[in-house]
Amino acid sequence: MATLSVGMIGYKFMGKAHSNAYRQVSRFFKLPVTLRMAAICGRDEANVSAACKEFGWEGYETDYHRLLARPDIDIVDITSANNAHAQMAIDAAQAGKHVFCEKPLATNLADARRMLEAVERAGVKHMVCFNYRATPAVALAKQMIEEGRIGRVFHWRAVYLQDWIVDPSFPLVWRLQGEVAGSGAHGDLAAHSIDLAHFLVGDIDSVVGDMRTFIKERPVLAETTGGLSARASEGKGPVTVDDASVFLARFANGAVGTFEATRFAPGHKNYNCFEINGENGSIIFNFERMNELQYFDRRDDGHVQGFRTIQATEGVHPYIGPWWPPGHIIGYEHTFVHTVYNLITAIAENRMPSPNFRDGVRCQAVLEAAAQSVKSGTWEKVAY
């Protein structure tokens, strides 16, 4: 069996989730190739060597250019901070590597387009890690839509609610710094909702939105003061991203969409929720109960219609077969296992993975139109 070797850049939250996925995928899924966790890459040698051992990689690199120079590496996985994605992906493509990149693809649309151009010019495979598509219940929703169970779509309604920065004493981490993160809840959370809307409903014609930064200054962390020293005064620094983002959308197919992403919704931890209303029925998903899908079928007998709570944990459901018996639920990390399964099988079979950089660009185009509409105060066309 052939081998595909991965080199991964980054070792924080996403690095941990991706590493787990590489380790687990061949334990549960039948892959057409041997998957090799060749190298992890990070600038701090102490940290990256510890992560190498903890996460189960063969070796490590401290300079991503050296990673790219290695002939044994087939796939480069980018899990570093958002503002580093573009250059790394372009360099990886130029080095002839397949590229797997965390979302959001970039911190702006122009960069995202350059990334797409680079991978297409290089003729390599590419994928963006919109892992929620690979939730069994979400994949089931997609299947049900394709089966015509919803029909013409009237409404898309997405909220992605978290609450981890409601406390004003929560510090100024990198995700709250615009130059590193690009945006706040918008690029971090709404990006997922936008991708799901593309996946399940289709193109968005135009948007109008609003953003808010509720807490404008936060304590500067000692470890991050380096880059922030110029503007840190009395131990506080400015929050330069949005805490919350809302926008309305007009889909190309006539559906009405609403999007909301916030880190200021006490009680909601990872409430990535969407609802679709169509002529034949409705679908509701909420990631905090990610093993379930709500489904209403207008064609059920009139007196026994009702929202069903489908436990998407059975062999008939997408991705579930290799796991556990019905009702024995899976978790967050499994969405990455499924995503990596899709990545590896596509590359092994010489197909383009999905979602890929084109989807990443499309998502970025919506993010950017929404951000632009906040400035212009009016509807903005999405420049796909």
DSSP 291: T
Residue among 160 and 199 whose Cβ is closer to a second copy: 160
Residue among 127 and 337 whose Cβ is closer to a second copy: 337
Residue among 13 and 63 whose Cβ is closer to a second copy: 13
- Give the nearest distance from C-beta 298 to a second copy in angstroms: 5
Single out the residue of 289, 272, 266, 268 nearest to residue 158, CA to CA. 272
Residue among 98 and 186 whose Cβ is closer to a second copy: 186
- Give the nearest distance from C-beta 149 to a second copy in angstroms: 7
- Give the nearest distance from C-beta 154 to a second copy in angstroms: 4
Q: Are strands 236-238 and 204-212 parallel, antiparallel or unpaired?
A: unpaired
What is the chain's alpha carbon radius of gyration, rounded to the nearest angstrom? 21
- Give the nearest distance from C-beta 77 to a second copy in angstroms: 17
Half-sphere exposure of 28 (CA within 13 A, CB side): 19
Rounded-to-integer distance, Cα 170 and Cα 152, Å: 44
Residue among 114 and 289 whose Cβ is closer to a second copy: 289
Contact 76, 99 (CB under 8 A): yes
Rounded-to-integer distance, Cα 191 and Cα 187, Å: 5
- Give the nearest distance from C-beta 175 to a second copy in angstroms: 11
Single out the residue of 374, 381, 339 nearest to residue 24, CA to CA. 339
Residue among 44 and 300 whose Cβ is closer to a second copy: 300
- Give the nearest distance from C-beta 95 to a second copy in angstroms: 29
- Give the nearest distance from C-beta 310 to a second copy in angstroms: 4
Look up tokens 């372009």; give the residue. 90
Buried b (16+ CB within 10 A) or exposed e, 78-114: bbbbbbbbbbbbbbbbebebbbbbbbbbbbbbebbbb
- Give the nearest distance from C-beta 334 to a second copy in angstroms: 7
Residue among 179 and 300 whose Cβ is closer to a second copy: 300
Residue among 2 and 230 whose Cβ is closer to a second copy: 2
Residue among 96 and 315 whose Cβ is closer to a second copy: 315
Rounded-to-integer distance, Cα 357 and Cα 105, Å: 7
Rounded-to-integer distance, Cα 121 and Cα 117, Å: 6
- Give the nearest distance from C-beta 273 to a second copy in angstroms: 11
Residue among 226 and 331 whose Cβ is closer to a second copy: 331
3-class secondary-structure state, position 312: coil
**DSSP letter string, 149-202:** SS-SEEEEEEEEE--TT-STTS---GGG-HHHHSSSHIIIIIHHHHHHHHHHT-
- Give the nearest distance from C-beta 121 to a second copy in angstroms: 36
Rounded-to-integer distance, Cα 213 and Cα 228, Å: 19
Q: How many CB atoms lie within 10 A of CB 280?
A: 14
